[in-house]
Structure 1
């Protein structure tokens, strides 16, 4: 829902968990509050061995609003029918963006609610129950710059540790090997799906322009002719076909492109989880070395033993949680792909049936339009030169004239001799 310049999400929760004060509650949240919830879970070291679902993307309605504003500025230069059709096109684009935004935020909350650990988090419960605004502030430029530098440093460090650290656990060694190939495949599939969706939108836009051009050929006066009927038929066909393509493109974007994109983000989270485990293993190995040095010096042995025990406990905890998370996600990943691909196939079958019905009805209408009889042009007969009567006046100026019948043969004979 839209509130002036803000986009608010209305969240209705039903639960039987004893931690909640009520079984049902409804709150309104901004996108920034979703980001706060995500950061709250990521920054909690207790969840270092868990995969926090990726934060949903920020709603981007500015592009549709800018197009609508430009269309309003050119309102006086466009025919009324063309203006209404272009407005309807922008509204369809706005609706597709709205559906995509709602779906991504809903998936984020559903993943947290279905997780055995995250659903008991205090911050998550506050997010769902607290009726007032959370008063979450946006990060400053300085904080964003610091986060960016940390992410760059982490990416480089992550690559080094994942590729060079020796791991005795067979499960995690195999995960490291499969992660790179799977991530590359998902990334390529995401690019291909986005390109296919973009091409379909381009075709839909071309059909819209074709339909507008044909509609301008229809005379305003009620002059029913075969040409007018044919133009009207083609205009209606392209208009209906364009709407089907827009809906199909929107469904493919939501069910296919977004599915790949979410999988790509989750694979990055998998990489981050393996990196945290590698760091915990490195800390445990460093604690062992420090303990050996302390025992050799016979100094601060107890502190070194405590640090080694804490590092060992943290490494084991992260390893156990990470293994369960990765195994569980393999099952959920298949279910997620299965559900969205089945939904996409059903939608494509539905749109294909609509296209077939549209083509059939258009053909029936086309056959019913009376075509004018087309007469073949008359064949021009070759000119035949006939005998000519030539009037010749005598040289003496008498009015009396003698008329001779002269044939072409005679003229040639006389000329020759």
Structure 2
């Protein structure tokens, strides 16, 4: 059982006040405030000076081992403008145990001055399943009311198995880590950090007891067994998803609100375009990695030719050309990392968020179905009551009236629920639209700055080599 928490605000009052604060704050949001994206940044390539006296025996750097630096601080949220802040970082992944029973833990560090947190600074260790468990709890609490819960990172059985069977993350390992598992862990760390910070940006989620427990409780949390695909809860989720998919295909809601009709079409179009963009970005990142590999092969060929060349001047230039190509290769790798960790991961995140948006839109359809079902049952009860009155069965009329009254109350509750969900979705969609524009604006600017810096670096490298090429005698 999860430990109980004393919530500083009454649940209903807190939710109403949070919604009003959020709505007013989002109207005044300044995209400049989101100066720090939640995406994990690729490493900035330092300028590589031309140095002909480099140690030729220096170990060659493995291109696959270039790992991005820790993600920058999350973007400032509207409430942070009132001297309130909540900063969360996920770092230092560490493998615990050996073999298939092993797992990776991450250090989650929190800094905040929000009054409903118990501590201003806290550091805890959490497993990947703990993050999934937190997401499932938030979905269970808030999805039905129309709130968009940020999606948790996807599971990767193949990558997880490779990490379990390798010694890369083990502190007892004396062998240097290989690129595959380390890169997988870094990508997962970055995605977990983005997930927890996106969740923290929401006023309601950050005040949730389970969210605060996740950040503040020392020691291990109760194991979230329901997150396993092979668990009973996981199998039940698959059945529920199958049922909802069938329901979406067979039920057509007569939409009376043009706003929702327009938004639903917009979401579908956005989903399709983001998926195409993600495919293109993955191809671009792979192209730059292939280009880096080809540049390496060219550098090696030039170095081999330099050793065979009898002309001293030409041999010296070919040797310098090989060194220059090796430095250009590093820039290509940095550009590939920029493509992936800036743009590709952002687009992938928003494909997941679009899925969360579709989920809340479907919750509205489910609320409408319940309302219509209650209305149909009410009509049947009224017809039954009328037949009993005509037949003069006075002994059954009174119970029939009670049933009519009961279903009238159910219809009112279902209608109210549908209207509340619709109202909440409109607020959440406004927030989603503004956050999406802000995220893409900040990330594209950082991406372009990074590419410009890398192009300038390539230019300097070739400009430094050109005099040597012209000086062949």
TM-score, normalised relative to structure 1: 0.75
Q: 1:334 to 1:252 in 2, by over 3 A?
A: same
Aligned to 1:345: 448
Find the aligned partners of 1:244 and 1:135 in 2 and give their Cα distance: 45
Tell me which structure has the larger Cα radius of gyration.
1
Query: Which residue, out of 151, 170, 173, partners 1:54?
Result: 151
Q: 1:173 to 1:322 in 2, by over 3 A?
A: same
Query: Which residue, out of 320, 327, 332, partners 2:430?
Result: 327
Aligned to 1:207: 295
Find the aligned partners of 2:449 and 2:163 in 1 and give their Cα distance: 28
Find the aligned partners of 1:151 and 1:229 in 2 and give their Cα distance: 66
Find the aligned partners of 1:61 and 1:294 in 2 and give their Cα distance: 56
Q: Structure 1: state its 5+ residue gaps.
A: 70-86, 372-417
8 Å Cα contact 1:57-1:101 kept in structure 2: no
Shift of 1:54: 1.1
Matched, 1:3 2:95: yes
Aligned to 1:141: 230
Aligned to 2:12: none
Root mean square deviation of aligned Cα: 2.9
Q: 1:65 to 1:39 in 2, by over 3 A?
A: closer
Q: 1:96 to 1:350 in 2, by over 3 A?
A: farther
Find the aligned partners of 1:347 and 1:58 in 2 and give their Cα distance: 30
Aligned to 1:257: 344
Shift of 1:279: 0.9
**1:14-413 aligned within 5 A:** 14-44=111-141, 48-58=145-155, 60=159, 91=179, 97=184, 99-136=186-223, 137=225, 139=228, 141-143=230-232, 144-161=234-251, 164-216=252-304, 219=307, 225-298=312-385, 299=400, 300-368=403-471, 370-371=472-473
8 Å Cα contact 1:31-1:58 kept in structure 2: no
Shift of 1:361: 1.0
Q: Structure 2: state its 5+ residue gaps.
A: 1-92, 97-101, 169-175, 386-399
Question: Does 1 or 2 have the higher relative contact order (CA < 8 Å, sep 6+)?
Answer: 2
Q: 1:175 to 1:263 in 2, by over 3 A?
A: same
Shift of 1:309: 2.6
Partner secondary structure for residue 104 of structure 2:
strand
Aligned to 2:55: none
Shift of 1:274: 0.9
Deviates more, 1:286-295 or 1:251-260: 286-295
Find the aligned partners of 2:185 and 2:368 in 1 and give their Cα distance: 44
Q: 1:152 to 1:234 in 2, by over 3 A?
A: farther
Q: 1:67 to 1:142 in 2, by over 3 A?
A: closer
